[in-house]
Amino acid sequence: MLALNGVQLQGRLADINLRAEGGQSIHVLGANGAGKSSLLSAIAGVLDIDGGAIILKDKPLTDYSLASLANQRSLQTQQQWTAFDLTVAESLQFSQPASQLPDELEIALEISQFLSRKVNALSGGESRRVHLARTFLQVWPMLEKGQGIVLLDEPTQGLDFRHQHLLFELIGKLTARGNLVITSHHDLNLAYRYASHVWLLRDGHCLYQDNPVTCMS
């Protein structure tokens, strides 16, 4: 589903060679500045690389239009602020014009209770859950088919322990359906419990790509 061949990004990524398949939950680990956010942004096609190639579903990433990419993959960045004075319900309409959240998202994110509140008036954890909902909703039709790709950059920031585990349980259900989810964070315990594969980055290099048990033993 995804291949990175000699990907270079000056000062951020160096000769990255990685493979990912549908059905995998990949956790990207590394210290601050290791290149995790740059890697996810490059895979999403919102950050141009300086060398190498990224192949998405047997097609070079550069061959996709932005509109086509938006239907194939979604990226949740660390930034949560919104410039518009919207309610949660209005904000979600930008991602998927549906009357209500899919049950799987509501069970994991529990946001129906504040749909009428303004996004910018939410707590940090509540806001994070709304942005996660928008990220999943963007490609929900593909996720239902088991063909979606979701990229999450430190999604557990601001989430309490309960919602962290609810999130990764949701990811487990989505990957069991055949989707690919790549998540960056700093929690080794979460990676050990929920990751099918780990990518370990340091100074823009990938030092390890395999299962979490081998990585942490």
The CA distance from 34 to 31, in Å, is: 5
Contact criterion met (CB below 8 Å) for 109 and 133:
yes
Average pLDDT, the chain: 91
**pLDDT attached to residue 70:** 92
**Cα 79–chain centre separation:** 13
The values of phi and psi at residue 68, to 5°, are: -70, -40
Contact criterion met (CB below 8 Å) for 208 and 195:
no
The CA distance from 152 to 179, in Å, is: 14
Give this prediction's pTM.
Answer: 0.93
- Rounded mean pLDDT, 96-114: 83
**pLDDT attached to residue 205:** 95
The CA distance from 197 to 176, in Å, is: 14
Residue 7: pLDDT over 90: yes
Work out the burial of residue 124: count CB atoms within 10 Å of its CB; fewer than 13 is exposed, 13-18 middle, 19 or more buried: exposed
3-state secondary structure of 122: coil
Q: What is the pLDDT of residues 54-80, one digit of tens each?
A: 999 999 999 999 899 999 999 999 876
Q: 76-80, 84-88, 135-139, 210-214: which has the minimum mean pLDDT?
A: 210-214
Residue 38: pLDDT over 90: yes
From the CA atom positions of the chain, what is the Rg in Å? Answer: 17
Q: What is the pLDDT of residues 143-157, one digit of tens each?
A: 999 999 999 999 999
**pLDDT attached to residue 97:** 61
Contact criterion met (CB below 8 Å) for 183 and 176:
no
